[in-house]
Amino acid sequence: MRRRAGRAMFIFWLGMLGLGCQTLGTAGVALSRVDVRRLPEGAIQPQAAVDSKGYVHLIYYEGAGDAGNLYYLRKAPGQTVYFGPIRVNSVPDSAGAIGTVRTAQLAIGKDDRVHVVWNGLGPKGPDGNPIAFQAYTRLNDAGTAFEPQRKLTTWAYGIDGGGSVAADKDGDVYVTWHAIATANDEAGAAVFIAVSHDNGKTFAREKQVNPDHTGACGCCGMRALADSKGVLYILYRAAGDKIHRDTMLLVSRDKGQTFTEKRLDPWSISTCPMSTYSLSEGNDGILAAWETREQITYATLHPTDPISAKPFPASGTTQKHPVLVSNARGQSLFVWTEGTGWQRGGDLVWRVFDKDGTLLESGRKENGIPVWGLATAYARPDGGFVIIY
């Protein structure tokens, strides 16, 4: 009863009590607006996406860190109240949140179908921990419930960090994860993909897609995106020799059949930084953001152009879990956390820049991010932004 009441309050909080945050320019004119909205106590790890009709789709996690559930909400254009919540995982308590990097992800595909992936928790292995697999589900045709969850992993087990999902308007759905599989450790791990060409109805058996022996950082997340032209992008962290934890980019122009690979940003570190990635499509290319040397780095990606990565100014504390989105005006919103870590929350920080790189707004909510928490963001049709954390 208490949990049900908490979820009902969630609709009220998101729809009615979103906190507006507005910064004025030097001339006293409002340049932009960022709505910052807090999840209620016990709800963490939101992920949001906007479909072709302007509906906002949101998922979040609720429960203990080692075993809980995913829930889904939907908001129509111009409305303040969300439809839902609907539980995403059909097997109760089959999702987890420990480490933050295993956050569930969603993508909007053909006919605005919602696709969701997460690290599914199976039976316990010899070490006493649940055997993780790549779980997937999609919203049903009526948009009223999720189909029974499916295990896409058929042989590439040894999953630790979080996977991702991407979908396009043609009905192609790409579910990606990295796993040790046949290797002994993360230095020999690889990136795998399961592909559907019928909007998630069926998937082919997973295959390895990183052409080089880069390894894959076990406790880091990854991010996939299919752009409006059908090009597939995947960001992940390598683990060569257990110290070369470089940010890597995989690109496919033939619907996941073949991939090229680029090393975007080298980072030599002996321990896993437990970091996540951001990918979104902007007016001038694909916007990417990640963590290197404890600060946020970003770049605009094009399938054939050279990539120039730019770091944010160091802030004296660890910057993690970036989100980078843009609006129709070419303005960009950067969101990240500071001071978060293992069993430790921290601050929510954001910046808004115009298309020429001029800072328009900045904001911070000290101690706003709970343990295992992060933020999500999206652009509103009126040019403003919404942050949910």
Which pLDDT value is given to residue 167? 98
Strand partners, 38: none
| Residues 273 and 245 sit within 8 Å (Cβ to Cβ) | yes
Which pLDDT value is given to residue 12? 36
* 284: number of Cβ within 10 Å: 11
| Residues 97 and 119 sit within 8 Å (Cβ to Cβ) | no
* Tens-place pLDDT, residues 111-155: 999 999 999 998 877 877 788 999 999 999 999 999 999 999 999
Which pLDDT value is given to residue 28? 34
SS3 content of the chain, % helix, strand, coil (to 5): 5, 45, 50
Beginning with the edge strand found earlier in the chain, give each strand of the sheet holding 207-208 in spatial order.
164-167, 173-179, 190-196, 207-208
Which pLDDT value is given to residue 379? 97
Separation of alpha carbons 195 and 130, rounded Å: 25
Burial class (CB in 10 A: 0-12, 13-18, 19+), 49: buried
Burial class (CB in 10 A: 0-12, 13-18, 19+), 174: buried
Burial 289-314 (b: 16+ CB within 10 A, else e): bbbbebbbbbbbbeeeeeeebeebee
DSSP-derived pairing of the beta strands 385-388 and 34-37 = parallel
Phi, psi of 2 (to 5 degrees): -65, -40
Separation of alpha carbons 69 and 64, rounded Å: 9
Fold of the domain spanning 2-388: Neuraminidase (2.120.10)
**Residue length, the chain?**
389
Cα 6 to chain centroid distance, Å, stands at: 24
Match 């032209």 to its residue by tokens. 229
Which pLDDT value is given to residue 303? 66
Listed residue (124, 199, 135, 194) closest to 162, CA to CA: 135
Separation of alpha carbons 134 and 121, rounded Å: 9
Separation of alpha carbons 248 and 216, rounded Å: 10
Phi, psi of 30 (to 5 degrees): -65, 120
Strand partners, 287: 280, 300
| Residues 35 and 18 sit within 8 Å (Cβ to Cβ) | yes
Beginning with the edge strand found earlier in the chain, give each strand of the sheet holding 376-379 in spatial order.
19-21, 34-37, 385-388, 376-379
Which pLDDT value is given to residue 3? 45
Instruction: Collect the ranges in the chain with pLDDT lower than 50.
Output: 1-31
pTM (2 d.p.): 0.91
